[in-house]
Amino acid sequence: MPRRTRLYYAFLGVVMLSTVAAPLMRELSQRRDIWWTPSALMVPLAEGKDRVVIYARGKPLLDLVQVGAVRLEEHGTTTTLTAGELGLRFNNWDRVRAARLPLMLMYAAGCGVSAFLILLGLTGRLTYRPEKGPPATGPQSLR
């Protein structure tokens, strides 16, 4: 294969590799703490029962709050907490990661294919090699 064609395929492989590696690297280098529920959108304790139940001394926290058994001391004063004063923030990283996994696997496969094409192009394994001689025909080819 001519050197120009070999470099063209190597360059094409580098372009393909950078195209699929950029989103993969962006995903892998992203901060993991950004998937928490924002503070302004905290879920009330009663609404979060389908995802989490918090226990204090073996009793559900919501039940303790409803009977007034949970108190908070601030600046020397003690107040009883209500259910409206408690909120939950969820870490949704596991759900986001599970949703993005198929796309990340496709990017990783694209990186592997691109790297393989670069390797083939630079080592000259994509060359066309004509046959050495005419193919044998007739009864002589059986010997």
pLDDT at 34: 76
pLDDT at 65: 87
Distance CA 96, CA 92 (A): 6
pLDDT at 130: 65
pLDDT at 139: 64
Backbone angles phi, psi at 137, to 5 degrees: -130, 160
Distance CA 102, CA 125 (A): 31
pLDDT at 51: 81
Radius of gyration over every alpha carbon of the chain, rounded to an integer in angstroms: 32
Per-residue confidence in pLDDT tens, the chain, 143 aa: 677 777 787 788 888 888 888 888 888 887 777 778 788 888 888 888 888 888 888 888 888 888 888 888 888 888 888 888 888 888 888 788 888 889 889 989 988 988 888 888 777 776 666 667 666 666 665 55
pLDDT at 136: 64
Q: Give pTM, 2 decimals.
A: 0.51
Residue with the two structure tokens 């796309």: 103
pLDDT at 141: 53
pLDDT at 79: 87
